[in-house]
């Protein structure tokens, strides 16, 4: 095998000079390294036209010297990464060294994965503003009209393991067990102190907690905090249902409540890694620690116009919230709304009618017999059942599958986003906005070129 040392001497005469000259033939403008129409050019041009003042604001004044990299460049790299299925900061840092498109957007800069991660974390809320700006741009060029919206939700894995969750009933058992063990350890420590005092006198400090005791106390504190979160959530749920703390029996039926006010079900769980997330049933992976990601999709070109993220496994109440976001942000109200059975309840259907929106919301699961609600107690639901029983109603509702389910499918299958990189509801909500923004940007390239 020929060693690397002296390899240039073994080349034919003149080859080394030609290789050196050819190395200078790369275009001095890095944008020319990519063909015209490449997606990276689309991302760069689009971001150049966006208002990024919110991204620059933290670095104004004395903060400017803490901004080692241009924010606009960092936004381009992050958006291109998410739009091409690179979500981790380490992955983006590697791509900036190895991938031509990333290098073009990075403009010769190589921020570390910590820098990329910190920039994303710091500006998660600002990406919501970019999401709105891109939707407004699409509206301005006639790519969406808000005339028909389709609403759907999907479960996205949280940055936590379900094995780090514990039920409320188990918490009570663990709390009692740890309290007993801590008391036993404290008694042992007191006995040891007394023995050592008798043998050596009282001059020794001996005030450091044993490591074993600290671990148990930390565990107990985590369990107590988790119980408090579950109890606070249950009190909020009881208040929403109109229950009062002093009620022991249901005033309507007179039957005693199974649980005291604010007392969670024994099976209710909380996760120690990401307490805001919840155990949810997914379509492909069984029960996992997840968030429930919501989108409202415009019927023109399947662009996402509103987003939401909750820790509730069901979709109840999310539809009106998404419509409110569209109204408040874009001053628009759809003529038609499509949604599946997860969004069906009398209150929201009545709200659609009150707003003059022609709703098509499935009153039951597909393939299962629909129970027609009484017209007196559930008039809006009764009317919805009657509407969807007609051929025209079924035809309109059938559009929901390819309108709103497709973007969720693209996010998971095309982009490959199946798990959040951050923890906590507010941070995960910001990352969901970033993902939906990246998908819209990817969708806009062929739409703008058409």
Residue span of the structural domain in which 329 resides = 145-161+275-428
Say which DSSP state 111 is in. -
Residue, of 392 and 177, whose pLDDT is higher: 392
User: CB count, 10 Å around CB of 420?
Assistant: 26
Chosen domain end from 226, 253, 271: 271
Check whether residue 102 and residue 149 sit in a common domain: no
Check whether residue 291 and residue 151 sit in a common domain: yes
Q: Rounded to whole angstroms, how far apart are CA atoms 336 and 237?
A: 31
Q: Rounded to whole angstroms, how far apart are CA atoms 285 and 289?
A: 11
Read off the pLDDT of each residue in 410-423 and give the average, rounded to a whole number: 93
State residue 229 phi and psi, 5-degree precision: -65, -45
Read off the pLDDT of each residue in 21-43 and give the average, rounded to a whole number: 75
Share of the chain above pLDDT 70, in %: 65
- Asked whether the predicted pLDDT for residue 208 surpasses 80, the reply is no
Q: Rounded to whole angstroms, how far apart are CA atoms 289 and 269?
A: 10
Check whether residue 199 and residue 338 sit in a common domain: no
Chosen domain end from 221, 255, 271: 271
Q: Is the CA virtual torsion 177, 180, 184, 186 positive or negative?
A: positive
Q: Rounded to whole angstroms, how far apart are CA atoms 305 and 298?
A: 7
Lowest mean pLDDT among 48-62, 90-104, 161-175, 340-354: 161-175
For residue 13, the model assigns a pLDDT of 52
Considering its fold, how many domains does the chain have in total?
Answer: 3
Check whether residue 103 and residue 189 sit in a common domain: no
Question: Per the domain annotation, does 98 fall within a domain?
Answer: yes
Ramachandran area for residue 281 (φ above 0: left; ψ -120 to 50: alpha; else beta): beta
- Asked whether the predicted pLDDT for residue 1 surpasses 60, the reply is no
Check whether residue 281 and residue 413 sit in a common domain: yes
Name residues whose C-beta falls within 8 Å of residue 390's C-beta, 6 or more positions apart in sequence. none
Read off the pLDDT of each residue in 393-422 and give the average, rounded to a whole number: 91
Which pLDDT tens digit goes with each residue over 274-317? 888 888 888 888 888 899 999 999 999 999 999 999 988 889 88
For residue 68, the model assigns a pLDDT of 72
Question: Per the domain annotation, does 381 fall within a domain?
Answer: yes
Check whether residue 396 and residue 293 sit in a common domain: yes
Lowest mean pLDDT among 5-14, 26-35, 178-187, 241-250: 5-14
Lowest mean pLDDT among 43-47, 241-245, 358-362: 241-245
Cβ contact 419:156 at 8 Å: yes
Cβ contact 113:89 at 8 Å: yes
Residue, of 141 and 205, whose pLDDT is higher: 141
Check whether residue 422 and residue 389 sit in a common domain: yes
- Asked whether the predicted pLDDT for residue 23 surpasses 60, the reply is no
For residue 246, the model assigns a pLDDT of 59
Check whether residue 404 and residue 281 sit in a common domain: yes
pTM over 0.85: no
Q: Rounded to whole angstroms, how far apart are CA atoms 39 and 34?
A: 9
Cβ contact 439:304 at 8 Å: yes
Check whether residue 23 and residue 61 sit in a common domain: yes
- CATH code where residue 323 lies: 3.30.420
Question: Per the domain annotation, does 115 fall within a domain?
Answer: yes
253-279: burial string, b at 16+ Cβ within 10 Å, e else: eeeeeeeeebbbeeebbbbbebbbbbb
Question: Per the domain annotation, does 279 fall within a domain?
Answer: yes
Check whether residue 191 and residue 303 sit in a common domain: no
Which pLDDT tens digit goes with each residue over 435-450? 999 999 999 999 998 7
For residue 161, the model assigns a pLDDT of 74
- How do beta strands 358-361 and 336-339 pair? parallel
Question: Per the domain annotation, does 77 fall within a domain?
Answer: yes
For residue 19, the model assigns a pLDDT of 44
Question: Per the domain annotation, does 193 fall within a domain?
Answer: yes
Question: Per the domain annotation, does 69 fall within a domain?
Answer: yes
pLDDT band for 9, please (50, 70, 90 cuts): very low
- How do beta strands 286-298 and 304-310 pair? antiparallel
Chosen domain end from 214, 239, 271: 271
- Asked whether the predicted pLDDT for residue 210 surpasses 80, the reply is no
- Asked whether the predicted pLDDT for residue 182 surpasses 70, the reply is no
- Highest mean pLDDT: which of 31-35, 240-244, 381-385? 381-385
Which pLDDT tens digit goes with each residue over 311-339? 888 898 899 999 999 999 999 999 999 99
Check whether residue 284 and residue 232 sit in a common domain: no
pLDDT band for 6, please (50, 70, 90 cuts): very low
Question: Per the domain annotation, does 9 fall within a domain?
Answer: no
User: How far apart, in Å, are the Cα atoms of 318 and each of 344, 360, 407?
Assistant: 10, 15, 18
Check whether residue 246 and residue 258 sit in a common domain: yes
Summary mean pLDDT of the chain: 80
Read off the pLDDT of each residue in 110-137 and give the average, rounded to a whole number: 94
Residue, of 22 and 315, whose pLDDT is higher: 315
């Amino acid at each position: 095998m020929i060693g690397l040392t002296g390899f240039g001497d073994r080349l034919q005469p003149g080859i080394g000079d030609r290789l050196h000259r050819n190395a200078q033939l790369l275009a001095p403008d890095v944008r020319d390294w990519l063909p015209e129409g490449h997606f990276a050019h689309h991302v760069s041009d689009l971001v150049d036209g966006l208002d990024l003042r919110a991204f620059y604001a933290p670095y104004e004044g004395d903060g400017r010297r803490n901004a080692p990299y241009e924010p606009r460049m960092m936004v381009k790299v992050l958006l291109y990464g998410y739009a091409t299925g690179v979500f981790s900061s380490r992955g983006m840092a590697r791509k900036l060294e190895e991938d031509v498109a990333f290098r073009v957007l990075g403009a010769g800069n190589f921020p570390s994965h910590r820098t990329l991660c910190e920039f994303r974390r710091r500006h998660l809320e600002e990406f919501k503003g970019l999401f709105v700006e891109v939707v407004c741009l699409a509206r301005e060029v006639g790519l969406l009209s808000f005339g028909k919206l389709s609403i759907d939700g999907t479960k996205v894995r949280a940055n936590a393991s379900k094995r780090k969750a514990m039920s409320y009933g188990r918490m009570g058992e663990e709390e009692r067990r740890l309290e007993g063990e801590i008391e036993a350890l404290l008694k042992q420590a007191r006995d040891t102190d007394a023995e050592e005092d008798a043998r050596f006198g009282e001059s020794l400090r001996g005030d450091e907690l044993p490591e074993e005791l600290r671990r148990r106390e930390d565990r107990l504190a985590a369990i107590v905090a988790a119980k408090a979160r579950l109890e606070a959530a249950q009190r909020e749920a009881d208040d929403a249902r109109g229950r009062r703390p002093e009620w022991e029996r249901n005033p309507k039926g007179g039957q005693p409540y199974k649980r005291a006010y604010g007392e969670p079900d024994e099976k209710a769980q909380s996760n120690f890694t990401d307490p805001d997330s919840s155990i949810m049933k997914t379509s492909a992976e069984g029960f996992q620690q997840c968030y429930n990601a919501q989108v409202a999709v415009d019927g023109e070109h399947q662009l996402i116009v509103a987003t939401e993220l909750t820790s509730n496994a069901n979709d109840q109440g999310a539809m009106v919230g998404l419509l409110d976001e569209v109204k408040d942000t874009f001053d628009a109200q759809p003529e038609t709304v499509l949604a599946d059975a997860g969004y069906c309840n009398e209150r929201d259907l009545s709200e659609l009618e009150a707003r003059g929106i022609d709703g098509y919301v499935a009153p039951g699961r597909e393939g299962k017999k629909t129970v027609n609600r009484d017209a007196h107690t559930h008039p809006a639901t009764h009317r919805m059942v009657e509407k969807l029983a007609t051929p025209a109603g079924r035809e309109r509702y059938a559009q929901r599958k390819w309108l709103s389910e497709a973007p969720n499918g693209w996010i998971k299958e095309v982009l490959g986003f199946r798990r959040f990189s951050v923890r906590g509801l507010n941070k995960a909500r910001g990352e969901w906005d970033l993902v939906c923004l990246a998908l819209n940007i990817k969708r806009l390239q062929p739409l703008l070129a058409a």
